[in-house]
Every structure is written in C-alpha cells, then in structure tokens.
Amino acid sequence: MIQTDINRRSLGVNFNERGEAEVAIWAPLQENVEIILQDKQTIKLTKDDFGYWKTCTKEIKVGDLYKVSLGDDKVFPDPASVSQPEGVHGFSKAVDVQQFKWNDSNWNNLPLEDYVLYELHTGTFTTEGTFAALEGKLSYLKELGINAIEIMPVSQFPGGRNWGYDGVFPYAVQNTYGGPEGLKHLVQACHDIGIAVILDVVYNHMGPEGNYLGAFGPYFTDKYNTPWGNAINFDDEWCDGVRKYFVENVLMWFRDFHIDALRMDAVHAIKDFSATHILREIKQHVNKLMAATGRTHYLIVELDLNDNRFINPLDQQGFGMDGQWVDEFHHALRVTAGEERSGYYSDFNGLVHLAKSYKDAYVFDGQYSPHRKKTFGIKADNNPGKQFVVFSQNHDQVGNRMLGERTSTLVSFEMQKLMAAAVLVSPYLPMLFMGEEYSEPHPFLYFVSHTDPELADAVRKGRKAEFAAFHSQGEAPDPVDEKTFEESKLQWDLLQQPQHKTMFEYYKTLISLRKQEPALKHLNRNQLNVEINEQNQTLLLHRWHEGDHILCVMNFSKSPQPATLPTFKNEWKKLLNSAESIWNGLATAEDRNGAVVTIQPESILIYKNSHE
C-alpha cells in the first residue's frame, strides 16, 4: 500500500502551522522543476525520492497565483491545484484547504440505508448555476424528503458549461460554481439542515482540454484503451505516484471538504491488475481516515459489470465499495413502461426482468446477454439492499438521448407516477434526477464550452455523427451553443402550476411513506416476494418487516386490471392510490370486492397490513 499522511494533503501547495508553504510536485522524469509566481518570482524545487520535487518556503502566501515550470518554456498550472480562478489554462491559486470555520461537529453522516438521493447538476439546477444559489433550494429539497444530494462532478473543466466529466484538475473546484470556498459553504449549509453531500468524481479518464498531467509524468499508460483514450496509469511503471495522487484526492474531499460520500464514475473503465486494486487501496485509506476522525464516509460506484467483487467487503477479498448504481433496474423499468427495446434495452423483456431486479438486483447474473453477446454477471444474493442505487432516470439516461427528453415528455402523467413509486418502494436506495419530482419538461442535453475551436468543432461533429440514424427526430442540438445549456435549466416557476405542484406533493407523499413504514424503510431483500401477470401487465410487490406488511400493486397496462390481495388475518388498509383525483387521476374511490381489487391503468395501489 502506498504511504500517505491521512491527516493532511501533501501534494501541490499546502500550508503548515507556521504559515510556510510546503510544495510537492510529482514529475519523476523531469530535470528541473520550479514554481513561478504571477509576479515572475521563481522558486526552485529540489528533487526528492520517487520523483517528487519539494521545498518549504515563506515566499508563497495564501491567495498567491502561480504556475509550475518544467524547463524549456514548459509552464503549466499545478496538477494538484485546489483553485483555478482563471480556468484550466490560467494560474493556480495557493489555497490553505484546512482554513475554513466548520460548524458541523455534531454531524456524522446518515446510515447508508436511510439515504434518499437526489442527483443534480450545479450549473443547470438554478438560474445562476452556482453553489450559493443551490443553497437557496435546500429547504425545498428538505421539504420534499431528500436527505442526500449527489452533485455531478465539480472538478475544474474548460469554460463554464459542462456536465463535469471533462474535468482536468481533480483537486480544483470549478471557478464558475464558486470555487473551493463555495463548495465548503454549501456542504456546511447541507449539514446544518440534515442533508448529506455526495460528490461525483471521475478517476477513469481526464478531459481533453487543459489536460496537462502527461507533461508532468506517466499519469497515463498505453497498455490499455478506454472510450476516452489511454487509460490512467494505475499499474504500469511509475504508477505509485499516480495512485497516491488519486488516493489523496479521495481523502481531501472527505477530510478537508467534509463530503459524506463519493460516487465514482464508470469504475469498470479503471484498468488495474495490481495485486491490490486501486479501489481496494482507496477503501483501506478511507477506513484509516474514519478511524482517526470518527466520521463516516461512503464510496459508491457506477459499475457496468454486475460483479459484486467491487461491493464485497475487504475481508471477503472484495474492493469494499459501499454501494453501486444498478442500471439494469432502470432498463427493466423503462421497457416495462413502454420504452422501445433497442440498443442496450434490447436485452430486457419488461415485467419479468423488473420482478427479477426487485428480487436479485442484477437482472443478468450468469445468463447469456444477446446485446453483449456473452454470458454476463454473477449473483449478488448476500449483498444487502443498501448497496444498490436505483432510479427511473439520471443524467446519463436522459442526457444521452439525442434530444435529452425527460420521462415527463415520454410517458403519460399516470405512468410518471407509477415509475416514481416503482423506485421508491424498492428494497434499494432510491435516487431522483433533479426536476423529476415536479415533472420538469425541459430536456437535459449534452453541453460543453471548450475554448479550443478545433476541439469544440470535433465535439459538435461527433455528436451529430452519433445520432446520424435519428434524423427523423430532427437534428442533434449543438452541444457548444449556449442555448443548449440554457434550455437544460430547471424551470422553478412551474411549481406554481397545478399539475406540477400535484406531482411534487405526490413525490413528497411517497418519500414520507418510505421513511415511515417499517416494511419500506428496512431494506431486507430476504423479506420480499414478487408476483407478476404478464398478460395483464401487473406486478405485486410484497415487503415486510416483523409484523408490518406492505403490498404494492402495480398496473403497467393501459386498461383496468384485477389483482387478488393475499389473505391475512387482518384487513389490508389502503395507504395510497396514484389514480385518485387528489393526484389528478380518474379514480373516485377504491374499486374492491373482497380480496379482488381493480387497479386503474398505469397506476399503483399501496396497502398495509399489521399483525403481531
């Protein structure tokens, strides 16, 4: 395991208790490395072990702007910069990351099983697109019932418009959002109101513009390819410096920014054949940090492998990740709701696979996948429900459609309510995508603001080529055009309109039920039963905890359908009917004859039964 101090950042420019700047730049193949301050003053660094160039000086003050010279007129921003006030090509700003007046000592994260997640993009969540403006919406999220926000990547990217996956400074907080101080202030505000903060980070690739890492050292390897070019070097020559760079990045977010959890983007694209996988090593260091601070932090991964080795505990030779996204639940749900079975949806048959995901999390856990053209997956029988994050939409599933359509414009109002409930009554962690809770009709499109004209043009052409077969739907929006970004912003004034306000109240009610009802709150995958009727397109999800039972009767068809309630000593009590007029449905009352209930089209009935 690499050696690093869990108590403080060591890379880049940091300040000790005497106010001195401690500098460490990893550039193992360079012959001369210097710090150049904005006023042209030069500070020489001395080469230390393992390729680190270091010094301790009072010549650098907090707030100073600087770059790193590698000789021969090669001058770049600091790869470990915490702040890039002038963007990806400008000077780095010296920041004391430990200098913030935190007031959240009473906060120690929430139990993972209690998380109700809300994914958002800082730039489009509000009109202003800043951390400060986001703070103004926290009371709204609290009223909705959200207790964990998942923020799409904020590491410095080129320009001011980007999803965040083109970041090139993993340590630096996007200047147009509010920089490092703005993020810390947001985290403090979230903790004040009882909301955990999950930060999306990208450790599988770097963006193209402003990516100067390769100039400093072997951050990349040509041993492997990823969809974004050469892989990050986690197991080739000089990989120790790269591993330390990313391990320290994780520790910084948790220790210095008080982030509660990380969502790691596409970890299946991380190539590492080391004896200790980088994810496992990250977990080992996080465990040491938690033991030292007493604070709890989670690591959640996006994973397209259906391999529970990633989420199995360290003592079972797993990588120790606390949870993962489950795209297959999303795919099965959307096909059940009427999505065309094309592309990666072609593997999913709808209701049967949705029932399987409720029971097994993974739909493919050892079967042949026609889309992948291979046997795929492994069973995850012993992994608890809290390890799986499910959703009916997210930034990828919306934004990677050519026109960025949200569910609100693809299915009926009734089906939107049914899909929301299907997620929120699952034995997994539910995640909403910003705006779905009030049926936001604006799309979430793909957008960038590269300052390199050639790169911007390449992205534009690439997006058009990607959707060349979809011309019947119109032209792919120009990702570089600022209007594409503006069109993706939420329309908060819609909450004043009856239909959107109704949807918000419906989501609020569902989330409240999930938190209040023991059978929904406890994520025991063994106390669950699913029955389906393919002909009627109905699904009965029965969950229980001790003496409390919840029955969710779902009708995905466009016609009323009968369903038989299980026989219990006590009567089933109706908790919610999504088709009732209070939710802008057509049902006037529960249509029930003994144990047989008629469920309205595209709706859900939720019942409760309690006994000793």
Number of neighbours of residue 75 by Cβ within 10 angstroms: 15
Place of tokens 């496992």: 280
Strand residues in 485-560 grouped as ranges (E): 528-533, 538-545, 548-555
556 is in an annotated binding site: no
Q: Residue 228: its pLDDT value, please?
A: 82
CA-to-CA dists, residue 241 to 52, 218, 280, 543, 606, angstroms: 9, 9, 17, 49, 54
Residue 165 corresponds to which amino acid? Answer: Y
Q: Residue 472: its pLDDT value, please?
A: 53
331 is in an annotated binding site: yes
The conformational region for residue 310 under phi > 0 = left, psi -120 to 50 = alpha, else beta, is alpha
Round to whole Å and give the CA distance between 161 and 149: 20
Residues ≥6 apart with Cβ < 8 Å to 310? 267, 279, 301, 303, 318, 319, 321, 324
Residue whose C-alpha is closest to residue 329's, from 401, 431, 413, 423: 423
Q: Residue 150: its pLDDT value, please?
A: 98
450 is in an annotated binding site: no
Find out whether 391 and 381 touch, Cβ atoms under 8 Å: no
330 is in an annotated binding site: yes
Round to whole Å and give the CA distance between 83 and 177: 12
442 is in an annotated binding site: no
397 is in an annotated binding site: yes
Round to whole Å and give the CA distance between 595 and 540: 14
Q: Residue 104: its pLDDT value, please?
A: 95
CATH superfamily of 528-610: Golgi alpha-mannosidase II (2.60.40.1180)
Q: Residue 569: its pLDDT value, please?
A: 80
249 is in an annotated binding site: no
Find out whether 249 and 256 touch, Cβ atoms under 8 Å: no
Q: Residue 223: its pLDDT value, please?
A: 93
Domain range summary for the chain, segments of one domain joined by +: 528-610
Helices (H) and strands (E) in the chain, counts: 15, 31
265 is in an annotated binding site: yes
Round to whole Å and give the CA distance between 67 and 402: 40
Q: Residue 471: its pLDDT value, please?
A: 52
267 is in an annotated binding site: yes
CA-to-CA dists, residue 468 to 253, 443, 462, 515, angstroms: 40, 20, 10, 45
Structure tokens at 432: 């909403």
CA dihedral 148, 152, 153, 157 (to 10 degrees): -150
Q: Where are the alpha helices (DSSP H) in 265-394?
A: 278-293, 327-336, 351-360
Find out whether 94 and 43 touch, Cβ atoms under 8 Å: no
Place of tokens 């915490």: 82
Query: Considering all CA atoms of the chain, what is the largest pairwise distance in Å, rounded to the nearest integer?
Result: 85
465 is in an annotated binding site: no
264 is in an annotated binding site: yes
263 is in an annotated binding site: yes
Q: Residue 469: its pLDDT value, please?
A: 62
Structure tokens at 231: 């892989």
260 is in an annotated binding site: no
Round to whole Å and give the CA distance between 215 and 240: 17
Residues, the chain: 612
Q: In a 10 Å sphere around its CB, with 0-12 CB exposed, 13-18 middle and 19+ buried, how is residue 434 labelled?
A: buried
Residues ≥6 apart with Cβ < 8 Å to 231? 204, 205, 220, 221, 223, 224, 225, 269, 270, 271
399 is in an annotated binding site: yes
534 is in an annotated binding site: no
Edge-first strand listing for the sheet containing 21-26: 12-15, 21-26, 52-57, 46-47
- Chain segment 143-193, per-residue pLDDT in tens: 999 999 999 999 999 999 999 999 999 999 999 999 999 999 999 999 999
Strand partners, 576: 606
Catalytic residues: 265, 302
Round to whole Å and give the CA distance between 243 and 383: 28
Number of neighbours of residue 531 by Cβ within 10 angstroms: 14
Burial 287-318 (b: 16+ CB within 10 A, else e): eebeeeeebbbbbbbbbeebbbebbbeeeeeb
Residues ≥6 apart with Cβ < 8 Å to 309? 317, 318, 319
Q: Residue 36: its pLDDT value, please?
A: 98
String of DSSP letters for 118-170? EEE-HHHHSSS-SHHHHHTTHHHHHHHT--EEEEPP-EE-SSS---STT-SEE
Q: Residue 230: its pLDDT value, please?
A: 83
591 is in an annotated binding site: no
Give the pTM. 0.97
String of DSSP letters for 344-371? GGGG--SHHHHHHHHHHS-S-SSEEETT
Find out whether 287 and 304 touch, Cβ atoms under 8 Å: no
Strand partners, 120: 151
Positions in the chain short of pLDDT 70? 468-472, 612
Q: Residue 3: its pLDDT value, please?
A: 87
